[in-house]
Amino acid sequence: MATIPAVVAQFLAGRRIAVAGVSRDSKQTANGVYRKLLASGYQVVPLNPNATEVEGVRCYPDLRSVPEPVDGLMVVAHPRVGLELVRQCAERGVKQVWFHRLFGQGSVADEAVREARARGMNCIVGGCPLMYCEPVDVGHRCFRWLLGLQGKVPR
């Protein structure tokens, strides 16, 4: 696998990551991200305001509700919640935020990205941890290569 970009390495250096957007429907993208981070040895905290349990574990409605410290936030939710999540990161002292996107808008909201950067956060826009957490499956290797050609993955 190619060298991991510094911003991604910095994000993945945290051991406790919250994933916003994990669903009761295990087929959703956020759930795949959640499971991959777990399988890669991370402590992962699911966030969903409409569920008390997902993937067999307690789910929190927002970052404010998580009792322990969090090293980073992975946003795999509708872009309209991004700004509020960035504000919650600031309140909690979370300095790492990654907005998931493979194609289209994904979870990226320009206002949320501007706010995260204005607050000095390590803000990753686009791509997915599944492109970097070993072992990387063939599909995500291809996504990383294709989106890399288009300049749409972290550098």
CATH number of domain containing 42:
3.40.50.720
Question: Which residue range is the domain that position 58 belongs to?
Answer: 6-149
Residues 109-119 pLDDT 10s: 999 999 999 99
Residues 49-107 pLDDT 10s: 999 999 999 999 999 999 999 999 999 999 999 999 999 999 999 999 999 987 667 88
On whether residue 1 sits in a domain, the answer given is no
On whether residue 155 sits in a domain, the answer given is no
pLDDT score of 1: 46
On whether residue 126 sits in a domain, the answer given is yes
On whether residue 154 sits in a domain, the answer given is no
Specify the pTM. 0.92
Cα(155)–Cα(6) distance, rounded to whole angstroms? 7
Contacts of 98 (CB under 8 A, 6+ apart): 11, 72, 73, 74, 75, 123, 124, 127, 129
Q: What value does the mean pLDDT take over residues 138-151?
A: 85
On whether residue 144 sits in a domain, the answer given is yes
Number of domains in the chain: 1
On whether residue 34 sits in a domain, the answer given is yes
On whether residue 134 sits in a domain, the answer given is yes
On whether residue 51 sits in a domain, the answer given is yes
Confidence class for position 151, pLDDT limits 50, 70, 90: confident
